[in-house]
Amino acid sequence: MTQVLLNVAGRKIKATEITYDDLVILYRQFVNKYGVVPTYVLCDSKHNMPQGRIITRLLKENKITYNDFILQFGKTSHVRTESMDYDAFVKKFKDLSNTKGGYITSTELTNNNLGLPSASWFVKYCPDKTVKNYSDFISWCGFNAHRKFTEKEVGDSLIQLEKRLGRPILKDDITTNNVGFSMIVINRIYGSLVNARNKLGLMKPLGVIPLPFSYYKDILTESLLSFKDKTGKTYVRWKDLESGLYHQNNVEHKSIMKAFKRENIDLYKYINDLGFNMNPNTFSFKYIFDDGERIVSSMEYDFSNYLRSIGYVYNESYYRDVPYKLFTDCKGKSNCDYCLIVDNKYKLYIEIAGVISNDNNLWRTKTFKYKKHEKYRDKMLMKEKLLLDNNCNYVILFPEDMDSLKYKEILSSKIDEVIYNVA
C-alpha cells in the first residue's frame, strides 16, 4: 500500500505516523488555506489531511472529544453533541443568552450556526430528570421561561419598530425576531393590532394597500441566500424561511405568494432561477434529477445531492431502491434506499430512517407514541437483521443526522472503515 506523506509545517511525515501536535498543525494549515474547519469528508491526501480513522485514533489516545478538538479552530457547523460535553454546552448556552439579553429560543437552536446542539438535546441529556421540556430547561438554567411582557414593554417595542420601519406596522412585522414577542402578546394586552395602533398613536395603514412588491421580493431573496450560506442547502421549505433564522424581517409565506401573484410572476420559477428547489405542495416532496433519479423526501434530496457533490454518479457508483431479495434471502418486496460502490469494488448499503428519531441510539427498543412509528421501527429492524445476517456494510441515518449535516461525517467515516477493513 502506498504511503501517504503529509506536509506538516514544511516537514514530510507519513499519515500513519503523525502525532496529536502534528494534527493540530494540519488543521490550522487547512483553516488558513480554505477558511473553514474541515469535516471528515475533506480529510484526505488531496487536502493534505489524514483520514478520519487516524484522526479518531489520535483523539482517543489523547482523551479529547472531537467536539472539543474542532472548537479550538474557530466557528464550525459540524459539532458533535456528546453527552460528556453537556456542562460545556450549557455554559456556552448561558453565555450566549446573557450576551443576547435573553435566553436563546428553541427556534434559534434549530440548525443553528452557534455551535450549540438542538433544544431537544438539551432536554434529553439534562442531569435533572424533572426537566421534561424546553421551558423546564430554560428555568433550570436560571432564565424566566414564562416571562409575561408588560404593556409598557410591548408599547415601547412597537414604537421603536415603527421608527425602524418608517411606515405603519403590519401583522407580518410582529415576530419574535423583530420585537421579541408574537401577535399572541399583542392580542392579550390590546385585543388587536388595530387597538394597539390607536392607543399608542401609531401610523395607520391606508386602506388595505399592500407593501411594494420589492419588499417581499427582497425579503425572499435575502432569506434564500442566507439559508444557503448558513446551511449549505439549496432545497428549501417555507417553514425554513419562516423560522426567523435567515432574515431580520420575518414574513409569512402566504404574503409572499400573494405579492408574486399580484405581479403575475411565477414564484417557484423565480426561486428555481436563483438556484433553489422548493416543492409547491407543502405536504409532499417529489423531485426528478436530470438523469432520472426520483426523490420523494427532502432528506433523500440532500443525501443524493451530497453524493453527487463528492463524485458519485447515479446508476454507476450509487443505486437507488435496491431490492433486498437481490443480495439477501429476503422473500418480500423491501428495498434498500441506497447502495454505494466504494472504491469501485465494495458495496455500502444506506437506509435513511426519515420517520423515527435515533434517540441516543435507543431507537431499537424505545416506545414510540404512534403505532405507525412502531411499525416503521419494526420494518427498520427487519432490514437491519437482513444486512447483519448477510455480512453487509451498512449505515442507518436518522432525521437528526440529516438536519445537523452530521450524515456527511458518518458516511465519510463508514467509507474509510469499509476500505480499511477490507484492505
Query: What would the mean pLDDT of 176-183 be, rounded to a whole number?
Result: 70
What pLDDT is stored for residue 4 in this prediction? 81
- Output 38 or 50, whichever has higher pLDDT: 50
pLDDT at 209: 58
Q: Domain spans of the chain? A: 5-71, 83-140, 151-200, 213-273, 293-422
The whole-number pLDDT of residue 70 equals 76
pTM for this entry? 0.47
Average model confidence (pLDDT) across the chain: 82
At which residue does the C-alpha cell 402566504 appear?
A: 254
The pLDDT value recorded for residue 341 is 93
Task: Tell me the mean pLDDT in the region 70-86.
Answer: 58
Does position 83 have pLDDT exceeding 50, yes or no? no
Mean pLDDT of 213-230: 87
Which residues is 288 bridged to in the sheet? 294
pLDDT of residue 210: 64
pLDDT of 283 > 60? The answer is no
**Owner of C-alpha cell 455500502:** 348
Burial status of residue 314 (CB atoms within 10 A of its CB: 0-12, 13-18, 19 or more):
middle
pLDDT of residue 147: 63
80-99 average pLDDT score: 71
Q: What does the pLDDT read at residue 61?
A: 86
C-alpha cell at 408: 456527511
State yes or no: pLDDT of 112 exceeds 80. no
Lowest mean pLDDT among 90-104, 256-270, 372-386: 90-104
Measured CA to CA, the distance from residue 226 to residue 233 in angstroms comes to 10
Locate 140 and state its grid cell: 433550570
Q: Report which of 198, 160, 194 is spatially closest to residue 179, judged by C-alpha positions.
A: 160
pLDDT at 356 exceeding the cut of 50: yes
Which of the residue ranges 79-88, 141-150, 303-312 would you say has the lowest mean pLDDT? 79-88
Give the model's pLDDT for residue 82: 47
Compute CA distances 218 → 43, 49, 213, 225, whole Å: 38, 41, 9, 11
DSSP codes joined into one string, 281-306: -TT---EE-TTS-EE-SHHHHHHHHH
Q: Which three cell numbers stand for residue 156?
A: 415601547
If pLDDT is split at 50, 70 and 90, which confidence band does 1 have?
Answer: very low
- Percentage of the chain surpassing pLDDT 70? 86
- The pLDDT score that the predictor gives to residue 99 is 73
What pLDDT is attached to residue 404? 73
